[in-house]
């Protein structure tokens, strides 16, 4: 069989692949176009996405149909079998898919929020074209390398020659091609996984962070609701003293002397003083919060979380850095707000100061006035003054004992590995049934003051697909299938050498 009938000229195939790459160029030049969102309301956006999706699918089908037609009907491949032609179709199609997804992944890795034309607009499509030709060179060119003799062409045809050629093919298909395929893995498969699943993997981690922030918000707002309980305690104390003053005035319940005497005046002044404390605490609660957002709003958590979820669901492929920065800014701003709510001790400090200054603020009669009181009146005033002091100190103590919930650990604290450290965790041995106990730390006031709600655990798409490889295993399988399906078909060239030639052209 002649060389002309046994192989297709490499130059003709290369020329056709160049034409294919030229047709694929517009798709590779805008790797994120399939993910772009149109402006307007929801209905208009959905309609626009449907039109874009239909246009993109039509373009891909037309392009792939053209490529398939060129390969199947090429006169240069008239001696090739249908299997050989379809192998070239699969290899070229896999290269095209890998090129588009790799260009998307490369844009996520190298893109910047700033207007850098070459980095943002030239490098990703150029990388996609590079991946396309690399994949085609490895699979289509590699198939040609496997099919043809190189080392034992001078040996006469026969059993020994066929065995030597079989060994040569084994070396090529199990050593040379896997080495080239390893290069393709790092160049194409890796960026394909990042392009297809990178943003979704980041969203998976950020969904966990949103759930954590929502739990933190619920715990801290519930903790701040205690302010209303303290306010109600002050109101109740003022009402109690007012009732005591009324009973003293009517029946002398405390001193035994009814009327508007010194004891009644003292109780009335204490009630007025407690009412002023209540008004001050109410002003703190009802006034503007230093954070700019009131922790007493029942919808504050749901509103903030819904805003973050909308930011997370926004289009990340148009400009990943801008999308990530927008989400991170909103997340960290709200976590800082939660930390301000945690450390807001205005009511506690105010009441502590009032308890410490109770003797100065206590409206007890002066020394001269006390000499005019009876022993019963003096005892009633002193006794009640101690009761008010004790109640106020108890209230302050309750304020200090009430502590916000312990901050939950962020994703970065639970799994801090990044980059190559992620690979090491895959092979790090773990003792079975190993119980990990958290260190018990007494939550003193100084410890609580140092506690903070962690900010966003930032993650890049390339790290996200590694840290969540078990969750996005289907994306890895898809990327490997795109890049290595031709290798499985290439095995037929080893065990069935005649599969490459059409009937009438076999040895």
- Give the pLDDT band (50/70/90) at residue 309: very high
Q: How much of the chain exceeds pLDDT 70, in percent? A: 77
Residues 224, 188: one domain?
Answer: no
Contacts of 64 by beta carbon, 8 Å cutoff, 6+ apart: 93, 96
- Say yes or no to pLDDT of 35 above 60: no
- Give the pLDDT band (50/70/90) at residue 49: low
Dig out the tokens for 348 from the structure: 């506690």
The neighbour count for residue 59, using CB atoms within 10 Å, is 14
- Range with the lowest mean pLDDT among 329-343, 448-462, 486-500? 486-500
Residues 341, 271: one domain?
Answer: yes
Average pLDDT over residues 243-266: 67
Q: Which H or E element spans position 425?
A: helix 420-427
Q: Is 85 helix (H, G, I), strand (E, B) or coil?
A: helix
**Separation between Cα atoms, residue 214 and residue 269, nearest integer Å:** 46
Q: Has residue 480 been placed in a domain?
A: yes
- Say yes or no to pLDDT of 405 above 70: yes
DSSP code, position 78: T
Computed over every residue of the chain, the mean pLDDT equals: 77
Rank 31-40, 227-236, 306-315, 389-398 by mean pLDDT and report only the highest: 306-315
pLDDT of 427: 73
Residues 328, 365: one domain?
Answer: yes
Residues 179, 254: one domain?
Answer: no
- Say yes or no to pLDDT of 489 above 90: no
The neighbour count for residue 237, using CB atoms within 10 Å, is 20
Which of 75, 84, 4 minimizes the C-alpha distance to 499? 84
**Separation between Cα atoms, residue 240 and residue 207, nearest integer Å:** 50
Torsion of CA 56, 58, 62, 64, to 10 degrees: 60
Within the chain, what is the greatest distance between any pair of CA atoms? Answer: 138
Let me know: does 34 contact 106? Beta carbons within 8 Å: no
Residues 189, 222: one domain?
Answer: no
Q: Has residue 429 been placed in a domain?
A: no
- Say yes or no to pLDDT of 287 above 50: yes
Strands (E) across 156-292 are located at: none
**Separation between Cα atoms, residue 454 and residue 395, nearest integer Å:** 31
> Which one is predicted more confidently, 353 or 162?
353
> Which one is predicted more confidently, 411 or 21?
411
- Give the pLDDT band (50/70/90) at residue 27: very low
Which of 258, 291, 320 minimizes the C-alpha distance to 124? 320
The neighbour count for residue 230, using CB atoms within 10 Å, is 20
Q: What's the whole-model pTM score? A: 0.73
Residues 165, 268: one domain?
Answer: no
pLDDT of 473: 86
Residues 388, 410: one domain?
Answer: yes
**Separation between Cα atoms, residue 327 and residue 309, nearest integer Å:** 9
Let me know: does 20 contact 67? Beta carbons within 8 Å: yes
DSSP code, position 501: B
Which of 364, 380, 352, 365 minimizes the C-alpha distance to 445? 352
**Separation between Cα atoms, residue 372 and residue 369, nearest integer Å:** 6
φ/ψ of residue 404, rounded to 5:
-70, 160
Q: Over the Cα atoms of the chain, what is R_g?
A: 39
Q: Has residue 116 been placed in a domain?
A: yes
**Separation between Cα atoms, residue 258 and residue 488, nearest integer Å:** 105
Residues 160, 86: one domain?
Answer: yes
**Separation between Cα atoms, residue 22 and residue 349, nearest integer Å:** 72
Rank 75-79, 240-244, 268-272, 333-337 by mean pLDDT and report only the highest: 333-337
- Say yes or no to pLDDT of 126 above 60: yes
The neighbour count for residue 374, using CB atoms within 10 Å, is 14
Average pLDDT over residues 407-423: 84
Q: Has residue 38 been placed in a domain?
A: yes
- Say yes or no to pLDDT of 219 above 80: yes
Q: Has residue 505 been placed in a domain?
A: no
Measured between alpha carbons, how far is residue 442 from residues 406, 448, 452 in Å? 11, 9, 16
Residues 197, 211: one domain?
Answer: no
Residues 192, 264: one domain?
Answer: no
- Say yes or no to pLDDT of 51 above 80: no
Q: Has residue 433 been placed in a domain?
A: no
Q: Has residue 431 been placed in a domain?
A: no
Q: Has residue 438 been placed in a domain?
A: no
Average pLDDT over residues 284-292: 83
Average pLDDT over residues 67-85: 74
Rank 30-44, 100-114, 379-393 by mean pLDDT and report only the highest: 100-114
- Give the pLDDT band (50/70/90) at residue 305: very high
pLDDT of 338: 92
Average pLDDT over residues 416-433: 70
Residues 413, 277: one domain?
Answer: yes
Residues 186, 218: one domain?
Answer: no
- Say yes or no to pLDDT of 5 above 50: no
Q: Which domain holds residue 322?
A: 205-424+445-462
- Say yes or no to pLDDT of 362 above 90: no
Look at the chain and report how many structural domains it folds into.
Answer: 2
φ/ψ of residue 483, rounded to 5:
-85, -25
């Amino acid at each position: 069989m002649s060389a002309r009938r046994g192989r297709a000229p490499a130059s003709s195939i290369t020329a056709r692949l160049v034409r294919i790459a030229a047709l694929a160029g517009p798709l590779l030049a805008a790797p994120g176009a399939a993910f772009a969102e149109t402006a307007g309301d929801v209905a208009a956006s959905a309609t626009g996405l449907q039109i874009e999706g239909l246009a993109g699918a039509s373009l891909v089908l037309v392009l792939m149909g053209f490529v398939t037609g060129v390969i199947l009907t090429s006169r240069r491949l008239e001696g090739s079998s249908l299997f050989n032609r379809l192998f070239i179709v699969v290899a070229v199609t896999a290269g095209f898919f890998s090129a588009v997804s790799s260009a998307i992944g490369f844009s996520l890795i190298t893109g910047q929020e700033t207007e850098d034309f070459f980095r943002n607009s030239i490098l990703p499509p150029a990388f996609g074209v590079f991946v396309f030709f690399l994949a085609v060179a490895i699979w289509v060119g590699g198939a040609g390398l496997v099919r043809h003799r190189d080392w034992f062409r001078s040996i006469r045809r026969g059993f020994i020659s066929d065995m030597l050629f079989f060994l040569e093919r084994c070396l090529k298909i199990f050593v040379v091609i896997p080495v080239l395929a390893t290069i393709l893995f790092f160049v194409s498969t890796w960026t394909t996984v990042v392009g297809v699943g990178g943003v979704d993997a980041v969203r998976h981690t950020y969904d966990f962070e949103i759930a954590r922030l929502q739990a933190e918000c619920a715990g801290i707002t519930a903790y701040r609701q205690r302010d209303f309980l303290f306010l109600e305690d002050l109101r109740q104390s003022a009402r109690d003293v007012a009732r005591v003053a009324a009973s003293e005035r009517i029946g002398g319940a405390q001193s035994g002397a009814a009327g508007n005497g010194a004891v009644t005046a003292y109780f009335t002044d204490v009630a007025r003083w407690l009412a002023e404390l209540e008004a001050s605490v109410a002003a703190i609660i009802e006034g503007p919060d230093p954070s700019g957002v009131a922790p007493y709003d029942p919808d504050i958590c749901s509103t903030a979380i819904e805003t973050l979820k909308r930011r997370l669901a926004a289009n990340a492929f148009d400009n990943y850095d801008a999308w990530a920065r927008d989400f991170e800014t909103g997340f960290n701003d709200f976590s800082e707000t939660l930390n301000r709510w945690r450390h807001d001790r205005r009511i506690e400090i105010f009441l502590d100061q009032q308890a410490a200054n109770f003797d100065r603020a206590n409206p007890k009669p002066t020394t001269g006035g006390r000499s005019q009181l009876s022993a019963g009146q003096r005892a009633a005033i002193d006794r009640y003054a101690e009761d008010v002091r004790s109640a106020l100190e108890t209230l302050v103590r309750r304020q200090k004992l009430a502590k916000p919930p312990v901050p939950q650990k962020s994703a970065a604290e639970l799994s801090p590995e990044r980059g190559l450290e992620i690979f090491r965790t895959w092979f790090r041995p773990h003792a079975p049934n190993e119980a990990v106990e958290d260190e018990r730390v007494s939550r003193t006031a100084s410890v609580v003051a140092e506690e903070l709600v962690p900010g966003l655990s930032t993650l890049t798409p390339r790290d996200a697909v590694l840290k969540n490889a078990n969750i996005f295993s289907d994306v890895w399988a898809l990327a490997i299938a795109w890049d290595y399906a031709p290798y499985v078909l290439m095995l037929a060239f080893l065990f069935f050498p005649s599969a490459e030639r059409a009937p009438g052209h076999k040895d």
